[in-house]
Amino acid sequence: MKNIFAATALVLIASAAFATPGSTWLELGPGARSSALAETMTASATGATANYWNPAGVGMYGNSIEAMYADSWVEGASIQYAAGAFEIGRIGFGVSAHYVGVGDLELRDRPSASPIGTYDARNTALGLSLAYEVAWGVRVGAGVRYLNEQIYVYDANGWAADFGLLRHDLFDHKLDVGAAVRHIGDMGALRRESEELPTTVAAGVRYKPGIFGEFKPALLADVSKVSGYDVNLHVAAEVNVLGYIDLRAGYVSGYEGRGLSGGFGVTYKGIRFDFAYVPYQNDLGTETRYSVGGEW
């Protein structure tokens, strides 16, 4: 029955309707680990960032909190994220705050060499998530987020819903599979008209072949599609060394400005630090991310 349930949920998730996207800042997902792994997170997000990537993973392995800051992202933009995930028996509960902002944008009222001033763009999402283990190895989750966009003197509010499925520890605990649909909803009118959100459908796997001496590797792959855009393929590898160091690398196809990424993580007595580095093409600069979190 649990396999039938999982298959049915996958079909429902994959059949989500696509609309013309707006509010593309929502696609700038959180977490240094996720960035280093080229956002190959659908089957592997089980901590606080599962609030964003797949709500079915919220509280899966206990309680966790995480805060992230992304520096020098594409011409001065920044991403900040704080979240918590908590386990209450078979139920997972999560809260999150997600901010994407760009400051000192040049303001013009007509084509000219000199701006008449500057303005900021600020985007915020505040979310709640719930997950439930319907059977051993099968989890479902859902989340809702309040959205706010502010550009110059205009602002708009909206709501987004997320749904996810996880089937973990298949084949002697070696394989995890997941699916998620994110950003179902719309925004109110920022100035003249409202816009649909960038609804995203994703499916992924994580393969854990075993422990080889002091090394514990994992291979990850995701397929994702944002409404109105081509399909993206994400592949990554993560190797745990000595039980507390994680080395990561990933690649994503389908984006003109990015491809490879990398980073590492260190965990000591329940405290985790993660770092990611993403070089962008076409003179877009680089992104460095830092995350600090705790698990208990």
CB atoms within 10 A of CB 155: 13
The structure's pTM equals 0.87
- What is the reported pLDDT for 158? 94
CATH number, residue 105: 2.40.160.60
The yes-or-no verdict on residue 207 having pLDDT over 90 is yes
Q: Which residues, other chains included, contact 122 with Cβ-Cβ below 8 Å and sequence gap of 6+? A: 99, 100, 101, 148, 149, 150, 151
Domain with 90, as residue range(s), is 2-295
- Domain count for the chain: 1
More confidently predicted of 203 and 116:
203
Residue pair 287/70 in contact (Cβ under 8 Å)? The answer is: yes
Of the candidate ranges 12-16, 66-70, 166-170, 198-202, the one whose mean pLDDT is the lowest? 12-16
The yes-or-no verdict on residue 257 having pLDDT over 60 is yes
The yes-or-no verdict on residue 59 having pLDDT over 60 is yes
Q: What are phi and psi of 118, to 5 degrees?
A: -135, 165
Distances (CA, A) of 64 to 37, 38, 53, 124: 20, 22, 15, 22
Distances (CA, A) of 59 to 40, 156, 247: 19, 32, 24
The whole-chain average pLDDT of the chain stands at: 87
Q: Which residues pair with 251 in a beta bridge?
A: 235, 260
For residues 15-44, give the mean pLDDT.
80
- What is the reported pLDDT for 109? 67
For residues 61-78, give the mean pLDDT.
81
The yes-or-no verdict on residue 1 having pLDDT over 50 is no
